[in-house]
Chain A
Amino acid sequence: DAMVIQNPRYQVTQFGKPVTLSCSQTLNHNVMYWYQQKSSQAPKLLFHYYDKDFNNEADTPDNFQSRRPNTSFCFLDIRSPGLGDTAMYLCATSRRTGGPDTQYFGPGTRLTVL
């Protein structure tokens, strides 16, 4: 019953080597989010899409980029990962209905930067 799918589940990369994480959803939700979660912390929103409209958080580093080619898929690109980017990356979706709606999270990608 996977509804929000993330690939890969685990990713190890070298310092400075670009990496792309992917998220897909079968819910047909129009909002997709990317969060970064470090150990023992709450998820931190990086950016979100409402349909194709991209909304970046003010404190998201330029190193982080995103693409949403269609309703179902969203990608997180980290152009030059640093050691501090080691974290769990969570994708979430919701359905905008004129008011806040439940966010459904994917299983996450655990990224390790060496």
Chain B
Amino acid sequence: GENVEQHPSTLSVQEGDSAVIKCTYSDSASNYFPWYKQELGKRPQLIIDIRSNVGEKKDQRIAVTLNKTAKHFSLHITETQPEDSAVYFCAATSNFGNEKLTFGTGTRLTIIP
């Protein structure tokens, strides 16, 4: 089955600086890669996703890049703000009759004012 590794497990960034979180996956058939943000005590919320037919996707301050050859994908947050502080999870899945997401272990991002 799929295995997703996520690094780092914790990340502290000065407000206004950029944050990068990296994930690697094992199953070359995986073709959908969402990123979820989870604030303390709240539900995971999708912030951005990417499919394997594109290499990069951007939404305002958030971007995701995908390298299918190396089987890794990354989340980039620019101009970080205190409200970006949360736990971020990457995930991967494929479409071979499989609706299951495999999650990474999460990154606790802290933005230092």
Contacts and interface: CB of A to CB of B under 8 A. Distances in A.
- Most B-side CB within 10 Å, residue of A50, A99, A100, A104: A100
Interface in B46-101: 46, 49, 89, 93-95, 98-101
A99 B95 contact: yes
Query: Which secondary structure dominates chain B's binding surface?
Result: loop
Interface in A38-88: 40-43, 45, 48, 50
Interface residues of B, number: 23
Contacts, number: 52
A32 B75 CA distance: 27
A34 B100 CA distance: 11
Contact of A100 (B31, B43, B105, B106): B31
Contacts of B45: 105
A105 B99 contact: no
Q: Interface size bucket, A side?
A: 20 to 34
B44 interface: yes
Given A99-B95, A100-B93, A103-B34, A43 B103 contact: yes
Given A43-B44, A90-B44, A98-B95, A103 B101 contact: yes
A41 B106 contact: yes
Nearest to A48: B99
Nearest to B34: A102
A105 B106 CA distance: 17
Given A50-B99, A100-B32, A42 B104 contact: yes
B31 A99 contact: yes
Given A105-B44, A108-B43, 10 more contacts: A42-B103, A45-B101, A90-B43, A94-B99, A96-B99, A100-B95, A101-B99, A103-B34, A104-B46, A105-B36
